[in-house]
Amino acid sequence: MNEQTLYARLGGYDGIVGFVGNLMPRLQGDELLGRFWQNRGSDGIAREKQLLIDYLCTNAGGPMVYTGRDMKLSHVGMGISESDWNAFIGHAVATMEALQVPKQECDDIAGFVLSLKDDIVEA
Ligand code: HEM
């Protein structure tokens, strides 16, 4: 049994920054999902990226405090559908493959992300 936090097993802060840095361009470039980031300024996108990093670090057991909004509040009204959700998951899997995240950590990330679905999908 591995006693290290998921945060440590993913390579700490730099590991999670790498994960988000790989994932976000995939989401923004997706035919279906791209609409969520259209017409947003680069500073807004940079702030959202930082919040996603902080959120993942905190929830993986890292030593930082997430100061953003909860998942329900930050996504309510966007109309994120089941198809959007499936596209998001496909990109998260592609990122894990690209970064060669080991199986145990992939399972841990998937378990956490899937637990958020009911708060994020609304249409
Ligand atoms: C299809 C799935 C998703 C879409 C389309 C999506 C889209 C977005 C967009 C457009 C924003 C910016 C909101 C704003 O500026 O007001 C945002 C914020 C955020 N999202 Fe998502 N998201 C998705 C799934 C997720 C998941 C699975 C997570 C967590 C692992 C997540 C974590 C966050 C965080 C932490 C923020 C920032 C919250 C804040 O502004 O306080 N999102 N999302």
Q: How far is the CA of 1 from the centre of ligand 1 (A)?
A: 32
Range of the domain at 96: 9-117
**Distance (Å, whole) CA 17 – CA 12:** 9
Answer yes or no: is 54 within a domain.
yes
- 8-state DSSP, 72: H
CA angle 84, 89, 94 (to 5 degrees): 125
Per-residue pLDDT tens for 72-92? 999 999 999 999 999 999 999
Answer yes or no: is 85 within a domain.
yes
- For ligand 1, whether the C-beta of 13 sits within 6 Å is no
Per-residue pLDDT tens for 26-47? 999 999 999 999 999 999 999 9
Per-residue pLDDT tens for 50-73? 999 999 999 999 999 999 999 999
Count structural domains, the chain: 1
Q: How far is the CA of 42 from the centre of ligand 1 (A)?
A: 15
* pLDDT reading at 1 higher than 60: no
CB distance 108 to 6 below 8 Å = yes
Q: How far is the CA of 34 from the centre of ligand 1 (A)?
A: 13
Whether the full predicted model's pTM is greater than 0.85, yes or no, is: yes
